[in-house]
Amino acid sequence: MLIKELVKIQQRDEQIRDHHTYEEIRTNKKLQDEMVHLDTINMRHIDDILLRYGRYPGKKLVDELSDVVASVIQHSPYANQAKYLPYIKKAVYDYDLSSEYLVVMTDRIKVIEGKPQLYGSQIVYDEEKKKEVLYNYQGTIQEVEKRRESLGLITLKKYLRNYYPNIEYPTK
């Protein structure tokens, strides 16, 4: 039952994201509204699952579908992200979820709060420069790399090169 439910949630979560670019979504109000609608439906289901199970349904329970819960939470409003960050953190430290989800969630919350990110996972669109840029990070680039290494992540340099080749790696 839970696996079927997570598959349906995953399909809704990917419905727009897999068929449109970030730029298309960012500039199309209709797509944005539809995505928010689907995300809201998904979050209601995730709230129910977490209430039913009392914990994060990790790899031991649902195998690779454990990522679905974290993805939906990441796509939800700040209040949900902050509320469920402890679930994500515990799942990562229990080896029930990839540390990448903790990194993205932590950094996303920092960005929303207007604080520097810790791991360098968040890219924002700079209206003045008319391009995507790495959001401000806490400390030096070496400190960011150490934090990433402590969670078993690839270096920020590799992350940017692999996923955002147009974004320059910071030197300080």
In tens digits, the chain (172 residues) has pLDDT values of 899 999 999 999 998 999 988 889 888 999 999 999 999 999 999 999 999 998 899 888 898 899 999 999 999 999 999 999 999 999 999 999 999 999 999 999 999 999 999 999 999 988 898 888 999 999 999 999 999 999 999 999 999 999 999 998 998 7
* d(C-alpha 85, C-alpha 125), whole Å: 25
* d(C-alpha 139, C-alpha 12), whole Å: 38
Long-range own/partner contacts, residues 115-123 (CB < 8 A, 24 or more apart): 118/144, 118/147, 119/144, 119/147, 119/148, 119/151, 119/153, 119/156, 120/144, 120/148, 120/156, 120/159, 120/160, 121/159, 123/164, 123/167
* d(C-alpha 135, C-alpha 74), whole Å: 17
pLDDT given for residue 49 in this prediction:
95
pLDDT given for residue 108 in this prediction:
96
pLDDT given for residue 67 in this prediction:
93
pLDDT given for residue 9 in this prediction:
96
- pTM for this one? 0.85
pLDDT given for residue 125 in this prediction:
87
pLDDT given for residue 111 in this prediction:
97
pLDDT given for residue 94 in this prediction:
93
- The neighbour count for residue 154, using CB atoms within 10 Å, is 12
